[in-house]
Amino acid sequence: MEWIKEMAAWVAHFAQTPYGGWALFALAFAESSFFPIPPDVLLMALCAVKPEYSLWFATICTVASVLGGMFGYFIGIKGGRPLMFRWFSADKIKLVEGYYQRYDVWAVGAAGLTPLPYKLFTITAGVFDLSFPRFVVASIISRGARFYALGLIFWYFGPAIQAWVKEYFGWIAVSFFVLLVGGFWVVKHLGSKAAKSGESL
């Protein structure tokens, strides 16, 4: 757990610099296509330092995350199936493809709102040639709902929540990473289950 807290502290330290907004943009963009660290950690740190700017930070995070998702979509288009099978197991790919067949782009929306690995869905959305306009709309709705919810909490409660977050920030960051790892475990578990079901048919 200690290394998670150290990594979270490294990410959060950007909130104390003049480059916090830029760091948030870069982190949110990268997390949507290839980077493992969720931007929520830095978003919360920035909102705790300047709660009056919370909605602005949520806007930065949402815009960057959607643009990063679009980049992941084009990685899927350009890289194609060989790249997808190199990065992800066949079980995960089969599971995500089944989600697309059932829910279309709203599978991307679910991943953007929950701890499920969003980058897996953005890249495979391009591979499976989902409608790009609908993909963007689903990303905006899901990522916006997630980040603005955090922003609104800090904007509304302001100093009242500021002290609480500073005191428990390390454990909050650990919780985000646990949820992230849990999201990958869910995809892996469900993918393996889907593969076994396919074999039994």
pLDDT bucket at 67, cuts 50 / 70 / 90 = very high
Model confidence pTM above 0.85? no
For residue 177, pLDDT beyond 70: no
C-beta of residue 188 within 8 angstroms of C-beta of residue 92: yes
Lowest-confidence segment of 30-34, 73-77, 94-98 by average pLDDT: 94-98
For residue 172, pLDDT beyond 60: no
Measured CA to CA in angstroms, residue 154 lies from 6, 81, 93 at distances of: 23, 42, 37
pLDDT bucket at 46, cuts 50 / 70 / 90 = confident
Structure tokens at 53: 């700017």
Report how far residue 35's alpha carbon sits from residue 149's, in angstroms, rounded to the nearest whole number: 22
For residue 166, pLDDT beyond 80: no
C-beta of residue 189 within 8 angstroms of C-beta of residue 88: no
pLDDT bucket at 119, cuts 50 / 70 / 90 = confident
Q: Return the pLDDT at 43.
A: 87
Average pLDDT over the chain, rounded to an integer? 75
Q: Pick from 76, 48, 69: which is nearest to 111 by CA?
A: 69
Helices (H), 20-131: 20-31, 40-49, 54-87, 90-103, 106-113, 118-127
